[in-house]
Amino acid sequence: MSTTITTTIDIAADPDTVWTVLTDFASYSEWNPFMSRVEGTPEVGSRLVVRLTPAGGRGMTFKPTVLVATPGRELRWLGKLGLGGLFDGEHFFVLERGADGGTRMTHGEKFSGILVSLMRGATKDADDGFDAFNRALKHRAEKVVAR
What are 88's strand-pairing partners? 80, 112
The per-residue pLDDT string of the chain (147 residues; one tens digit each, 9 = 90 and over) reads: 788 999 999 999 999 999 999 999 999 999 999 998 999 999 999 999 999 887 776 788 999 999 999 999 999 999 988 777 788 899 999 999 999 999 999 999 998 888 777 666 555 667 788 999 999 999 999 998 877
Length, in residues, of the chain: 147
Stated pTM of the model:
0.90
Is residue 12 domain-resident? yes
Domain hosting residue 88, numbered range:
2-22+66-146
CA atoms within 13 A on the CB side of 85: 1
CATH number at residue 95: 3.30.530.20
Q: How many domains does the chain have?
A: 1
Per-residue pLDDT tens digits for 53-95: 877 767 889 999 999 999 999 999 999 887 777 888 999 999 9
Neighbours of 40 (CB within 10 A): 16
Is residue 38 domain-resident? no
